[in-house]
Amino acid sequence: MYVEANPVTHVTVTPVAFPDAPLLNAAGVHQPWALRTIVQVHCGDELVGLGETYGDAPHLALVQRAAAALSGVDPFDLAGVRRRVAEAIGAVDAPDRHGLTGGSTPAKTLLRVYAPFEVACLDLQGHIAGRPVCDILGGRVRDAVPFSAYLFYKWAGHPGGEPDEYGEALDPDGIVAQARALVDRYGFTSIKLKGGVFAPEEEVEAIRALRAAFPDHPLRLDPNCAWTVETSLRVAEETEGLLEYLEDPTATIPGMAAVAAKATMPLATNMCVVNFADVPEAVALGAVGVVLADHHYWGGLRASALMAGICDTWGIGVSMHSNSHLGISLAAMTHLGAALPNLTYAADTHTPWQLGADVLHTPLSFVDGAVPVPEGPGLGVRIDPDKLARMSEDYARIDIRERDDTTYMRSVQPDFPTRRPRW
């Protein structure tokens, strides 16, 4: 039997905003609002596929331009979707300001713009076939996808605002308390600390305190390239036996290779291997032991699965990267994680930091630190139109149009340094 094509009739693109916590990183600090773009690809009145992507204005403009070009396309024709997106946006580059996901090129920009449409089309394919997205990606190898507790140094609240429920974390005790809160609430069985905020010695102290408090949890540290090769090697020596991996200690593939040559733990990255063109050099130099997949910039779920397969061939482990996101992205990450035979590490997620904000009718929940694959066809999630409308009103009301951690940090600490490496 051949299933009749259901061509795309129209696409809705909705920018949204939601409150974000003052999380510190090498670029500065998260602004009070995070931005996302929600994509709904409609095939007639009944059938809709969901996607989610960044909300920064230059990216949003490209997503809107691409959306307008998709009417009439068959959601099973992903090559056609990609071709139309490419034709609609042309060879442009829209880098993000925070620079925490590596360099940008027109090729990477195309993949970032295509990704939410690919996810939405896979959601549609699942609805049409009556199968979950993980089946369309090749079948599930796990029923629940493990995520890690993602710790951040943070202020108690935004300047002039109330403290949030996690409070301040600016030293090892604060970090251990935050880990305790996240592990108790979500059951996470591994822990990642976002570093690059304080001098490396202080961050190593925090790792030691976490090891003492959580003897059985694998630990990771990620300073987003805030260190030189020499500093990275010193930290690698000081954290020997403490880390399951050290993530992006230093910039560039050759820089990472110089650290990897001597470090005893694997090096992970979401900053130096950020698209397929980076893989040959990274493999040739032995620069990385783990790549963090991120369908938002690798070009969707199928491209991420392809990347994971390449990693498998070269004996490179796979984890998953995140930025502030909502439930459509969490569902997409969960289906991808369920279908990846070699998801060798728990994935990252910012979900706890969104403090319950979501566009989903029924937000996904964590069971023992893992998200069970949503039931039902497609992504298995649906939008709550009232929540979407409220978050879209919030977007219209605020004046943030791009994520800019550095400018926000400098409004509080004018001499905040932008140079990387900083130590």
The residue ranges that bind ligand GKR (CB under 6 A) are 23, 25, 100-101, 194, 222, 224, 270, 321-324, 348
CA distance 309 to 339: 11
Instruction: Confirm if 55 and 101 have CB atoms less than 8 A apart.
Output: no
Q: Is 212 left (phi over 0), alpha (psi -120 to 50) or beta?
A: alpha
Measured from each CB, the residue nearest to ligand GKR is 100
The nearer residue to ligand GKR, 304 or 323, going by C-beta atoms, is: 323
The nearer residue to ligand GKR, 135 or 294, going by C-beta atoms, is: 294
Query: Does 194 qualify as catalytic in the annotation?
Result: yes
With CB under 5 to 8 Å by kind, the binding choice for 53 among Mg ion, ligand GKR, none is none
With CB under 5 to 8 Å by kind, the binding choice for 250 among ligand GKR, Mg ion, none is none
Instruction: Confirm if 86 and 110 have CB atoms less than 8 A apart.
Output: yes
Closest approach of Mg ion to the CB of residue 290, in Å? 10
Q: Which residues contact 100 (CB under 8 A, 6 or more apart)?
A: 25, 26, 27, 224, 271, 323
The nearer residue to ligand GKR, 6 or 323, going by C-beta atoms, is: 323
The nearer residue to Mg ion, 8 or 347, going by C-beta atoms, is: 347
Q: Is 244 left (phi over 0), alpha (psi -120 to 50) or beta?
A: alpha
- Partner residues linked to 13 by β-bridges: 39
Closest approach of ligand GKR to the CB of residue 375, in Å? 29
Query: Does 30 qualify as catalytic in the annotation?
Result: no
Q: Which residues bind Mg ion (CB under 5 A)?
A: 222, 247, 270
Helix (H, G, I), strand (E, B) or coil at 191: strand
For helices 106-129 and 57-67, the axis angle rounded to 10 degrees is: 50
The CA-based diameter of the chain, rounded to the nearest angstrom, is 66
Query: Taken in order 339, 43, 322, 298, is the CA torsion positive or negative?
Result: positive
Closest approach of Mg ion to the CB of residue 159, in Å? 26
Closest approach of Mg ion to the CB of residue 403, in Å? 15
With CB under 5 to 8 Å by kind, the binding choice for 203 among ligand GKR, Mg ion, none is none
With CB under 5 to 8 Å by kind, the binding choice for 189 among Mg ion, ligand GKR, none is none
The nearer residue to Mg ion, 164 or 247, going by C-beta atoms, is: 247
Instruction: Confirm if 316 and 292 have CB atoms less than 8 A apart.
Output: no
The nearer residue to ligand GKR, 295 or 321, going by C-beta atoms, is: 321
Structure tokens at 415: 């001499």
Instruction: Confirm if 14 and 143 have CB atoms less than 8 A apart.
Output: no
Residue that has been written with the tokens 């259901």 in this structure: 6
CA-based nearest residue to 197, from 176, 218, 224, 158: 224
Catalytic residue among 30, 42, 194, 387: 194
Closest approach of Mg ion to the CB of residue 395, in Å? 26
Closest approach of ligand GKR to the CB of residue 348, in Å? 6
Catalytic residue among 321, 325, 335, 387: 321
Q: Could you tell me where the beta strands, DSSP code E, fall in 196-343?
A: 219-222, 245-247, 267-269, 290-293, 317-320
CA distance 321 to 331: 14
Residues with active-site annotation: 194, 321
